[in-house]
Amino acid sequence: MDTSEQIPVLAASGLTKSFASGERTLQVLRGVDLSVAAGETVSIRGESGSGKSTLLHLLAGLDAIDGGSLRWGGVEDTGASRRGRFLGLVFQSFYLIPELTALDNVLMAARMLGRIGAVARERAEVLLGRVGLAERASHVPTKLSGGERQRVAVARALMNRPKLLLADEPTGNLDERTGDAVIELLLELSRETDTALVLVTHNPGHAAKTDRQLVLTAGRLGDESD
């Protein structure tokens, strides 16, 4: 399929972001351009402090951009309601609700959009099975390993059938073997569901598994091969 004529799932143009640092202004992003096609997987690497997480927060609509434009599926509306329907988010810290079971944590994504009932519950159960946790559905996060918690987070991110997954260092709190397994799962599910993925990672091996590899340097994105 020729994706060049399709509307990008994500289109960022000239994104800028700065922060006050004492009496100085720290310019973190200096005009970032990024276009992601439907079903495409893209990795972003960069030195510590280069602004990778800041960029992902802007792409997710979690923080306001200083300048430039951001579109999800060709639309500039990046409010909370549309974010819940369009995006799936996976973070380094799993952000599971400790009092809820794995199943209820996955269901929470649907409940935020008012989607409750048997259909939502069945989808949550299917997703937990798909990430290998069908038998752990009734366990609270403290009864799960780090890798299992991140798998719950991946299932939750897919709950509302998003067009785009944004993953910010999703293996940062995991050992190497478990982290490799989580990345393989993310990529497999992304391709299986034709969901675009933007992966922020410090791991070159994980980055190499995506369709396209980018590097954030001096506030701008470029191809890793450049």
Amino acid at 144: L
Number of domains in the chain: 1
| Residue at 106 is within a domain | no
How many other CB atoms are there within 10 angstroms of residue 187's CB atom?
A: 17
What pLDDT does residue 5 have? 61
| Residue at 42 is within a domain | yes
| Residue at 63 is within a domain | yes
Residues 149-171 pLDDT 10s: 999 999 999 999 999 999 999 99
Is this structure's pTM higher than 0.75?
yes
Kindly state the helix (H) or strand (E) to which residue 34 belongs, with its residue range.
strand 24-36
**Residue 131: pLDDT band with limits 50, 70, 90:** very high
- In terms of residue numbers, what domain contains 25? 3-95+161-223
| Residue at 43 is within a domain | yes
Whole-number Å distance between alpha carbons of 157 and 154: 5
> Token pair 């306001």 is at which residue?
64
pLDDT over threshold 80, residue 3: no
SS3 165: strand
Residues 66-102 pLDDT 10s: 999 999 999 998 888 889 899 999 999 999 999 999 9
pLDDT over threshold 80, residue 224: no
| Residue at 82 is within a domain | yes
What pLDDT does residue 48 have? 86
| Residue at 123 is within a domain | no
Domain CATH code at residue 202: 3.40.50.300
